[in-house]
Amino acid sequence: MIKNFLIEHGEYHDDKCFKDLTTLKMGGHIAHFVLPNSVDDLKAIIAFLKSNKINFKVLGNGSNLVCGESDYNGVVISLKRLNDYEIHNDEVYVQAGVMAPALANILAKQGLSCLEFASGIPGTIGGLIYMNAGAYKSSMADIIKEVLVLKDDELIWLNNDELNFSYRHSIFHDHPRWVVVAAKLSLIKKSPEIIQDLMADRLRRRKETQPLEKASAGSCFRNPENDFAWKLIDAIGYRGFSINDVSVSDKHSNFIVNNGDGKAQDYLSIAYQIQDKVKEKYNIKLVMEVEKFNC
């Protein structure tokens, strides 16, 4: 029943694993995986799953997820096919499945600025909104005008001031069943050359300072107020620390990387040790930035 319904509304697979769908390359088998063909298909799928009390998880690029190795007997919905965008002067309508770096490059060529900070974040627009992702003292909250949300089986637009944005937080953390479908972004016109030069410089810096060659979920911890997580991790001596095939990066100690066959239990064991030792030594509670799922 589930499979037949999903096939009617999108591209269906029953052979996917979280290991294949996340940048950390960890996680077990997924019973049902579907990419809805349209917003209407997404609405129909979620309504069907809710009415039949079937567990589901909405996925962007999986760049901020730590997934356990046990099988997931539910439905994973990827928004990658919701990838339309429209540029109207200095405003952009963009669906949730568009990759942020791709959009940043498109906008740069059009001379539209303010998304440069996201050019090196390997996530979808929907995922970046969910996390209020940011870099270089900028974040999604700075450029969001409105977000189209699938809420209680209805599509509604929420204004920026209704989204409860704060550091790496949005209203969607408090309402995990709400789904980001699209957004309107407000941008600023600038010289394409200036924008592209800035993005190239930041990419160079990321390559120099972050372990982009290794599988990871990005920064493991949020930066505490007036401090940096990596400095605290260095101070407790955990740079390079390993458990089995998972380790704290030698290049950037706020990245915990998968060296090939890493498991979520080892990732989380390292993260919890770091939290405990930083709390013990500095009385600072490091908050995990990554999302745990099926762990």
Are 95 and 181 in contact, with CB atoms under 8 Å apart?
Answer: yes
> Of residues 119, 216, 247, 289, which has the active-site annotation?
289
Query: C-alpha distances in angstroms, 107 versus 87, 91, 96, 114, 133?
Result: 9, 10, 16, 9, 18
**CA distance linking residue 287 with residue 1, whole number of Å:** 41
Whether residue 48 has pLDDT greater than 90: yes
| Residue 13, pLDDT score | 98
Q: What is the pTM of this model?
A: 0.95
Are 246 and 266 in contact, with CB atoms under 8 Å apart?
Answer: yes
pLDDT digits (tens, 9 = 90+) for 220-248: 999 999 999 999 999 999 999 999 999 99
| Tokens (6 digits) for 257 | 């990387």
Are 76 and 20 in contact, with CB atoms under 8 Å apart?
Answer: no
| Tokens (6 digits) for 128 | 């970046």
Give the mean model confidence (pLDDT) for residues 141-162. Answer: 97
Band (pLDDT 50/70/90 cuts) for residue 114 is very high
End-to-end CA distance of the chain: 27
Are 89 and 111 in contact, with CB atoms under 8 Å apart?
Answer: no
Q: What share of the chain in percent tops pLDDT 90?
A: 99
Query: C-alpha distances in angstroms, 271 versus 40, 105, 252, 261?
Result: 40, 34, 14, 17
222 is catalytic: no
Give the mean model confidence (pLDDT) for residues 124-131. Answer: 98
289 is catalytic: yes
Structural domains of the chain sorted by starting position, each given as residue range(s) with its CATH number in brackets = 2-78 (3.30.43.10), 85-193 (3.30.465.10), 212-293 (3.90.78.10)
| Residue 1, pLDDT score | 86
> Of residues 219, 247, 249, 253, which has the active-site annotation?
219
| Residue 249, pLDDT score | 98
> Of residues 168, 170, 247, 253, which has the active-site annotation?
168
280 is catalytic: no
Band (pLDDT 50/70/90 cuts) for residue 95 is very high
179-186/144-151 β-pairing: antiparallel
**CA distance linking residue 290 with residue 275, whole number of Å:** 14
Whether residue 88 has pLDDT greater than 90: yes
